[in-house]
Amino acid sequence: MSAQTLQISPNPLVMTAQANVGASANLSLTSSGGVVQVIASVNPGAAWLHVSPATQVPTPATLAISTDPLAAGTYSGSLNIASTVGTFTVPVTLNVSVIGVSPGQLNFSYVLGGSTPSPQNITVTLPQGVTAQVSKTGTWLNYSITGGNSTPGIITVTIDPAVAQTLTAGVYPGSITVTPTVGSNLTPATVQVTLTVTTTPQVTISPSSLTFNFQLGGTNNQVSQTLQLTADAQGIANFAISPTVSWLGVNPSVGSIPPNGTASITVTLIGQPSPNAGTYSGSLALSTTTTQSIPVTVNESPNPYLNLPSAPLSFTFAIGGASPAAQTVTPTSTGAPATQVAYNVTANQPWLVVPQSATTPNPVSISVNPANLAPGNYSGIVTFTNTSTGTSQSLPVTLKVTNNPAPNIYPSTLTYVYQVGQIQPASQNVTVGTTTGAPLNYTATTSTPWIVLTGHTSGTTTDGFTVSVNTAAATVGIANAGLITITTTDVSTGAPAGTATVAVTLYVSSSALLQVNPPQQPIAFTAPVGTQAITQTVTLSSTSSTDQLTFSIPPPNSSWLFLPSPVPTTSLPGSNVLTLTAVPGNLSAGVYFANVVINATGPGGAAVLDSPYTLPVVLVLTSGSLAVSPASLTFSQTAGGPAPAAQTVNVTSSPAGLSYVISTNDSGLGWLSASSPAGVAPGAINVSVDASRLSPGNYSGRVIVTSANAGNSPLTIPVTLQVTSGTISASPTPLVFTIAAGSTTSVTQNVTVSGSPGALNFGVASSIVGSGSWLSVTPTSGTTPATLQVSINPTGLAANTYTGSVTITSAGATGSPLTIPVTVNIVPPQTLTVTPAALTFNYVLSQTAPASQTVQVQSSGGAVPISVATNTNNTGTWLQATPATGTTPATLTVAINPQGLAAGNYTGTVSVASPNSLAAAVIQVTLSVTQTPKPVITGIRNAASGFLSALSPGEMVSIYGTNVGPTTGVNGVLASNGRVATTLGGTRVLFDNVEAPIIFTRADQTSVVVPYEVAGRPTTSVRVEFNGTSSDAVIYNITATAPGIFTLNQQGTGPGAIRNAADFSVNGPNAPAPKGGYVSIYMTGEGATTPPGVTGAVSPADGSGNKKPLATVTATIGGIPAFVQYAGSAPGTVNGFTQVNLRIPDVAPSGVAVPVVITFTTGGVSTSTQPGVTLAVQ
């Protein structure tokens, strides 16, 4: 079923009136898909607004809208349009101005490719002393003024042909606005202008060409044929048709065609093209807005032709309904009436059913088999070939297959038998359904006096009524024939949906009649493919209790229907049951028909009135079942918003491969659709909804899946659509621009458009007060959320204040139309200055970023707003300026972020702009980035003793030099592996390319632990890398040990880094060690250890895993040998930091500065700690 829609124009409606004078306007209502019934009313709250007529009217219709006389101002109201396809709201705005304009509406019509419509005038009435400005909306609209720009009298409105030619077919709204520029009330007077653009009207010609077959000397030549001209929805105002040859005539030759209507043209062969046999060509010229040529061919021959219909045969089939009835064609000979012509008949489409041969003047039956055809239009050709001459002639055939609901009636025939004086025949029931399951309204009527209809003779499908017969009104001794007519209409529109009939036969006789039970026929068998056998029984009886009947029943004309042996031969109870057996065998899925003929005779041997009785039997074989998933669908859409995404329904069948067709039903509102009309399982249906023409509320529809071969067909998928009210809003509003006079640079502000509770579609238009085109907005349509760019082009604007507006509309949304006032202040320009105007920054890679600098900003007049922007010529984001906005006078802070920059020179700018200034003030910025200087090693010393000597494995040393680390010192850290990190502050130290753990790094000193990997080597090559820049290698000798004691002054002399074992206090003058007591001395340079030292590893704090030197350790205190209790790793410190525990000799000298020396001996070579290290002894 084609969806119906209602078009309302204009919508919204804007009216203009002069103060204390009423206004009037027209509202046009049109529809597609059929007639729509409409009732219009004024919504409460607008007593000044009136609509006529206020009664129900069909489309197309024009409503007269009028207003009461009102004082100057703006008034808002709305109209309610209730219709059979939904309820619509039309916002109405009445602008009552001190200015009068007439008329209040202008309408232009333009046919694409045609001439531009004529100008129309608006008369403007201005009160004394009032001046005004004229503006417009609509790029296709132009105007000129008579009487002066500030005191217009006549405004001539025209259509711009250059723009109109680029438009597509549709309706385009525009306006002319006259706004007062003086006085206390500045309400504008607006004239709505509508441009309707249409395409060139089209006409369809059927048939597209004509052929006359003319037998020379023939007495039955067909010399007239009919052309059908069909117009589109625009209609054809005037047409003319004329032959281009003298032997053709037409009638009528001129006329008009209503929208979607037809005109018939009779084309006559008024003379022979030639007295000789041959083929001759001519044509007809059809002139509308264009000219079309219709070919005409005349075949002349001495042999007879066939006279065939010139118009195509047309069939229509509703899926789920009965196949259309066959049509009869009676070909005749062009020769004498007694002349017979034999011919063969063929068809070029499998759905066409024709006989193989025939002779004139016998009729030919042509039928169609539309089973499994999807909805659509199909064309075929039936060819008639003269068997004697071999000439062929064609007859076009069209078939329209629809999934629109059509009436489906069961049973389609009723039979009653009545023997006078016996029991009256029982009533029978008729069920009225539809081919798709979609509901239709129906009415059952009959003009046959003896047919009585009771029950639901009218209603909505699926329903039914009862049929009985009044035998007294029937004629005795005949088969009385009657007819029941069932007309159906669309439930929502009332449009006709089809007519069906039930043929009723009443046999009335004074003698016995054959009575068949059940009376509802045909007898139907339904079973899946492969069923072995199924049976049904029919009882054959006499209407008389005393007169028995005798039967003769021949075998049926079918390969699948069988009768019992023997068949019933009498109506005697017990032997009058006829068993029908259907044996499908290897039949494929489909519908099969057969008849059983029952011959019945009375006691005297004469045939009864209703004999022979033909009992129809139908076998429906299904090949499986359908399934759909999901079984129901739910959609939600905001009124005025975009349609929700389509949802997919999967269709499967058992077995796979069943074909199916799809239909939808939404009560004619047109919101529900399916992606394809048919498919093969497994398949998918994309179901879509569109609530753009629906009011808020809940709607129900359904998708119906039908398969001729499925036993559970049709399947219905319920669809629910919830339409919610939407609200549109925008921010910021109003918009204020300040721009310096003389500027030619456009200024833009953004407006955010929002919709709730969901997305909303919207349109945007801009208008200005006065002349000019300084205001624009993009985009002009969209879907929320969205951002609009409102732009001002100040070119040519003098210092003044200008006003305009941006209007956002969203059909059906609360808050629509939404008007955003726009104010533009064009001000005298000021000059901006910056001090200083140039800045220079220097940065060394990996060093601290240079300090920020400040700039003072001044303006030549008063305080003005400023905005600040930076530009680095596409070299990164290293330049920063704050604040980004402000007011003069202002102080800017300019800073450098050099991260990621390579060495080189960079330039950038800081621009300070103001809408009050024509030119920005620019600060030139230069940045010089230099490489890290090359590190230089000047010496490597024992970190404890400060001695410059050979290096030992694990020795803690300090490397002195320049650029050997960062400017600010960095203390060592543990890496993720738990060892002391070998990269710190951009610094790396390598001994023979082995990374050393770094304890501390600074530009002039980096302290590391000599890797244990150098053990056994005579020398090592030492390099320092800082930020990727390497020093030259320095060669140092390797020695087994290089002991040194850490001292409290970190100079390698004086009190050592020693703790008293008794209380772990730091040894010193105030805490001397007792004789016989123990002290712990901290040092480095012990050399290789056992277990072997691990570069960068940290000894466990609990003392487990301590490493001891391979060298022999001895010591003296005050020159007296001291007992070495322990020598090895200091718990919790990096390998290479050594702890030596000594016992103070009993005879050691007392004093605050007693010398202590520790000696390491390996391979007969002894090395002692530096002299000058002391401890305090009691």
The predicted-structure confidence for 601-637, as pLDDT tens digits, reads as follows: 999 899 999 999 988 898 888 888 889 999 999 999 8
The domain segmentation of the chain, as residue ranges, is: 5-198, 201-302, 325-402, 404-510, 514-622, 625-724, 727-823, 832-926, 936-1037, 1044-1177
Instruction: Name the residue with higher pLDDT: 219 or 1110.
Output: 1110
Asked if residue 1098 lies in contact with residue 1121, where contact means CB atoms within 8 angstroms, the answer is no
Examine the pLDDT at 812 and tell me if it is beyond 80.
no
Q: What average pLDDT does the segment 53-58 reach? A: 88
Asked if residue 839 lies in contact with residue 855, where contact means CB atoms within 8 angstroms, the answer is yes
Instruction: Decide: helix, strand or coil at residue 426.
Output: coil
Token representation of residue 256 = 């008009």
Weakest-pLDDT range from 392-396, 1109-1113, 1138-1142: 392-396
Residue 717 has a pLDDT of 92
Token representation of residue 118 = 């004529």
Place of tokens 């800081």: 910
Instruction: Name the residue with higher pLDDT: 109 or 234.
Output: 109
Token representation of residue 914 = 């103001």
- The single-letter code of the amino acid at 760 is L
Count of CB atoms within 10 A of residue 1066's CB? 12
Examine the pLDDT at 120 and tell me if it is beyond 70.
yes
Instruction: Decide: helix, strand or coil at residue 571.
Output: coil
- Cα–Cα distance for residue pair 154/122, rounded to 1 Å: 6
- Cα–Cα distance for residue pair 444/487, rounded to 1 Å: 7
Asked if residue 561 lies in contact with residue 617, where contact means CB atoms within 8 angstroms, the answer is yes
Candidates 3.40.50.1360, 2.60.40.10, 3.40.47.10, 3.30.390.10; correct CATH number of 832-926? 2.60.40.10
- Cα–Cα distance for residue pair 1138/887, rounded to 1 Å: 66
Residue 709 has a pLDDT of 74
Give 826-846 pLDDT, tens digit per residue.
988 999 999 999 999 999 887
What's the whole-number average pLDDT of the chain?
89
How do beta strands 561-562 and 479-490 pair? unpaired
Q: Domain 514-622 belongs to what architecture?
A: Sandwich (2.60)
Instruction: Name the residue with higher pLDDT: 572 or 990.
Output: 990
Asked if residue 393 lies in contact with residue 305, where contact means CB atoms within 8 angstroms, the answer is yes
Residue 1033 has a pLDDT of 95
Instruction: Decide: helix, strand or coil at residue 981.
Output: coil
Q: Which of 832, 828, 838, 836 is nearest to 888 (CA)?
A: 832
Examine the pLDDT at 882 and tell me if it is beyond 90.
yes
Token representation of residue 744 = 């030619």
Give the per-residue SS3 of 774-822: CEEEECCEEECCEEEEEEECCCCCCCEEEEEEEEEECCCCECCCEEEEE
- Cα–Cα distance for residue pair 810/639, rounded to 1 Å: 9
Examine the pLDDT at 3 and tell me if it is beyond 60.
no
DSSP 316-343: EEETTSPPPPPEEE--EESS-TT---EE
Most confident of 221-225, 262-266, 451-455, 814-818: 451-455
- Cα–Cα distance for residue pair 803/800, rounded to 1 Å: 10
Q: What average pLDDT does the segment 741-752 reach? A: 92
Long-range Cβ contact pairs of 99-102 (< 8 A, separation 24 or more): 99/18, 99/124, 99/125, 99/126, 99/127, 99/130, 99/132, 99/178, 99/180, 99/188, 99/189, 100/18, 100/21, 100/124, 100/125, 100/189, 101/16, 101/18, 101/125, 101/176, 101/178, 101/189, 101/190, 101/191
CATH superfamily of 727-823: Immunoglobulins (2.60.40.10)
Give 526-565 pLDDT, tens digit per residue.
888 888 899 999 999 999 988 899 999 998 878 899 999 8
What's the pTM value of the predicted model, to 2 decimals? 0.42
Task: Pick left, alpha or beta for residue 477 (phi over 0 → left; psi -120 to 50 → alpha; otherwise beta).
Answer: left
**Residue 960 CB-density burial (10 A; 0-12 exposed, 13-18 middle, 19+ buried):** middle
Fold agreement between 727-823 and 936-1037: yes
Residue 1063 has a pLDDT of 93
Cβ-based neighbours of 166, under 8 Å, separated by 6 or more: none
Instruction: Name the residue with higher pLDDT: 1052 or 9.
Output: 1052
CATH no. for 201-302 = 2.60.40.10
Weakest-pLDDT range from 182-196, 499-513, 792-806: 182-196
Q: Domain 325-402 belongs to what architecture?
A: Sandwich (2.60)
Q: What average pLDDT does the segment 1111-1136 reach? A: 96
Residue 1031 has a pLDDT of 94
Q: Which of 1127, 956, 1136 is nearest to 1050 (CA)?
A: 956
Asked if residue 256 lies in contact with residue 236, where contact means CB atoms within 8 angstroms, the answer is yes
Q: What average pLDDT does the segment 410-417 reach? A: 90
What is the helix, strand, coil percentage profile of the chain, to 5? Answer: 0, 55, 45
Residue 831 has a pLDDT of 93
Instruction: Decide: helix, strand or coil at residue 977.
Output: coil
Residue 310 has a pLDDT of 67
CATH superfamily of 936-1037: Immunoglobulins (2.60.40.10)
Q: How many residues does the chain have?
A: 1178
Residue 226 has a pLDDT of 87
- The single-letter code of the amino acid at 224 is S
Q: What average pLDDT does the segment 1113-1118 reach? A: 97
- Cα–Cα distance for residue pair 814/724, rounded to 1 Å: 11
- Cα–Cα distance for residue pair 896/925, rounded to 1 Å: 10
Q: What average pLDDT does the segment 1149-1167 reach? A: 95
Asked if residue 600 lies in contact with residue 606, where contact means CB atoms within 8 angstroms, the answer is no
- Cα–Cα distance for residue pair 1140/1044, rounded to 1 Å: 12
Token representation of residue 37 = 């019934």
Residue 2 has a pLDDT of 43
Residue 622 has a pLDDT of 82
- Cα–Cα distance for residue pair 175/879, rounded to 1 Å: 50
Asked if residue 529 lies in contact with residue 621, where contact means CB atoms within 8 angstroms, the answer is yes
Weakest-pLDDT range from 286-295, 670-679, 981-990: 670-679
Fold of 625-724: Immunoglobulin-like (2.60.40)
Count of CB atoms within 10 A of residue 314's CB? 12
- Cα–Cα distance for residue pair 564/654, rounded to 1 Å: 34
- Cα–Cα distance for residue pair 676/661, rounded to 1 Å: 9
Place of tokens 């037809």: 262
Asked if residue 1083 lies in contact with residue 1138, where contact means CB atoms within 8 angstroms, the answer is yes
CATH superfamily of 404-510: Immunoglobulins (2.60.40.10)
- The single-letter code of the amino acid at 1154 is V
- Cα–Cα distance for residue pair 956/969, rounded to 1 Å: 18
Helix (H) or strand (E) holding 108: strand 105-111
Q: How many percent of the chain have pLDDT more than 90?
A: 52
Give 276-317 pLDDT, tens digit per residue.
999 999 999 999 888 899 999 998 988 888 888 767 788 888
Residue 1 has a pLDDT of 37
Phi, psi of 312 (to 5 degrees): -65, 155
Residue 668 has a pLDDT of 66
Sign of the four-CA dihedral 462, 468, 474, 479: positive
Phi, psi of 786 (to 5 degrees): -150, 165
Q: Which of 33, 79, 74 is nearest to 53 (CA)?
A: 79
Give 362-399 pLDDT, tens digit per residue.
888 898 888 767 777 888 899 999 888 888 888 889 88
Q: What is the largest CA-CA distance in the chain?
A: 167
Q: What average pLDDT does the segment 433-449 reach? A: 88
| Cα distances (angstroms) measured from residue 429 to each of 465, 468, 474, 624 | 6, 9, 20, 31
Token representation of residue 617 = 């039997």
Sign of the four-CA dihedral 368, 374, 378, 384: negative
CATH superfamily of 5-198: Immunoglobulins (2.60.40.10)
